[in-house]
Amino acid sequence: MSLAWRTLDGVFFDQSQPFKSGPIGTGAAKQIVEQKQKSDKLIGFASNEGSPDYVWVVAAGTRTGKQAGWTTQVYAVAELSDSNLFNDGWSGSDSVLPNNMQAAKWGRPGRGEGIGDDVEHISFMMSIDPNDIRQGDLGDCWLLSTLALCAEWPQFLPSLVDSTSLSVEGKYVVTLYDYGSQQSSQVTVDDSIPMSSGESPAFVNLTATGETWPTIFEKAFARLAGGYQNINGGVSTFAMGMLTGCTDLLTLQKQKDDSWQCWSNVFKSSNPQSSDNQEIKSCPWPDGTPGDKGKSIQEVLKFLEQWDAQNYLMCAGSDGGTNAEKSPDGIILGHAYSILQVKTEVAGTDVSLLQMRNPWGKSDFHGDWCDSSSLWDEHPDVAEAVGHEPSTTGEFWIDAIDVCSNYSSLFVCKKNMGPNHSKTFNEQQVDSSCAEAGVEPPSIKPGSQPASPGWLCSRGASVPFCGGSPDGCNIH
């Protein structure tokens, strides 16, 4: 595989968690990346024109931002070849597509077949950001929203692939949990994907910067499930388990009286449409009481705070409806939101808050404790305790009452993922290293230029729980 260096002007990497930083020069930085590219999945480094010898070396998955004066250099495949291409023996057949769908053709991105050919530098996996996902004409937002949630841990998804570099032969290996065999499985796919008549991917698209990883993950799920038709509808916990290998999965469901019950799915097949996956059982609450005993939202938030401290994967499903609709508080209906932090009785008050994130990269929430709320000025102790800052990347704080009035499901994967990006973004580290370099730190956080919103449930419809329909999709 031939790798070469390429330069991205006006682009910087998140500097809060570098593999190495300091005044070591670009030559030494290149040597480090070239030596550690495979073992540590290093991708490149960033520097500033004010101190070009001071560099930040980072691993694949590190978020990027755009600002003049910064330069990023990445170590990537120099050129794709059409010879000796890998064929997984599965692609190219309409039998693996939903019944009423037919691909115009199958194509390989960046190889002159109509997908990604207009991208200056196509890549597989460089920067991981929740805004990367752009859904196509398949009801798999239950999967795509979970991928966006996992992107809150930028180094996690790269750990599931054999290499983060673009494959010259078009061969990728993704590690997923197989519910059928009850063990991790190495799913091998080629890069050929179904195309629409408009010379674009029929299903999930490349990222806005030309990365192919969403198409490869979607295809790996489809292959393990037995076809794209089998991932056309599903549940968030199903995707959580397949990505993490954790089968301790909880669904907290709101009842008509606004109490919450705790349930657990039992999955026995990697085909989410299989009748083997219909079993749902009551699961005890953390305090030992039966799961079918209703809990108040205040009690539920106490449990969520415990799980947050253990860095569990958590998200919330908003009340039913279409993605074209919003609740009176501005919450998109039928949509999945990442849960980033949970704080109860903040600063000794009776205020309990969740920090959530819309994977579309923007927040229209305008209830209590939204960014423009006067409550932050009225309660500076609460603002200081949670570290509140107005967000441009979809994060917002919401209290217990508004959680209960806007969301009907909470999903928990009881795997310690380590601190997410919201917890690990260390502004002091950025300021300190930039001060050492003698340059001004970036005025914007990495990841603050989201892709165009609208990727999730782009057809604006929903389907029944665990169902599947080309006319809609299901985040639950």
Confidence grade of residue 268 (pLDDT, cut at 50, 70, 90):
very high
pLDDT tens digits for range 48-87? 999 999 999 999 988 888 899 999 999 888 677 677 899 9
pLDDT for residue 210 is more than 80:
yes
pLDDT tens digits for range 406-421? 999 999 999 999 888 7
Choice among 48, 131, 141, 283 that is catalytic: 141
Phi, psi of 174 (to 5 degrees): -115, 130
Clarify whether 100 is annotated catalytic: no
Confidence grade of residue 285 (pLDDT, cut at 50, 70, 90):
very high
Listing DSSP states for 365-386 in one string gives --STTSTT-THHHH-HHHHHHH
State whether residue 68 is helix, strand or coil: strand
Q: Tokens 């996992």 map to which residue?
A: 150
Q: Which residues on neighbouring strands pair with residue 256, listed in sequence order?
A: none
Whole-number average pLDDT of the chain = 86
Tokens of 23: 């005044």
Confidence grade of residue 119 (pLDDT, cut at 50, 70, 90):
confident
* Mean of pLDDT values over 168-186: 96
Choice among 335, 379, 421, 476 that is catalytic: 335
pLDDT tens digits for range 131-142? 788 888 888 878
pLDDT tens digits for range 343-392? 999 999 999 999 998 877 777 899 999 999 999 999 999 999 998 988 87
| Percent with pLDDT over 70 in the chain | 90
Q: For 318, how many CA atoms within 13 A lie in the half-sphere containing its CB?
A: 25
Predicted confidence at residue 227, as pLDDT, reads 94
Distances (CA, A) of 345 to 353, 354, 381, 386, 442: 8, 11, 12, 11, 34
| pTM for the full predicted model | 0.85
| Percent with pLDDT over 90 in the chain | 56
| DSSP E strands, 93-248 | 105-107, 171-178, 183-190, 193-195
Lowest mean pLDDT among 198-212, 226-240, 377-391, 447-461: 447-461
First to last CA, the chain: 41
Predicted confidence at residue 274, as pLDDT, reads 93
Give 4: exposed, middle or buried? Use CB within 10 Å, 0-12, 13-18, 19+: exposed
pLDDT for residue 149 is more than 60:
yes
Clarify whether 457 is annotated catalytic: no
Choice among 131, 271, 358, 406 that is catalytic: 358
pLDDT tens digits for range 428-475? 778 888 898 888 888 766 654 443 333 333 333 232 233 333 233 333
* Mean of pLDDT values over 419-425: 75
Domains of the chain (ranges plus CATH)? Answer: 3-77 (3.50.4), 94-226 (no CATH), 241-437 (3.90.70.10)
pLDDT tens digits for range 288-311? 999 999 999 999 999 999 999 999
Confidence grade of residue 322 (pLDDT, cut at 50, 70, 90):
low
Clarify whether 358 is annotated catalytic: yes
Whole-number Å distance between alpha carbons of 37 and 43 = 7
pLDDT for residue 183 is more than 60:
yes
Distances (CA, A) of 284 to 126, 133, 292, 312, 415: 41, 34, 8, 17, 17
pLDDT for residue 245 is more than 70:
yes
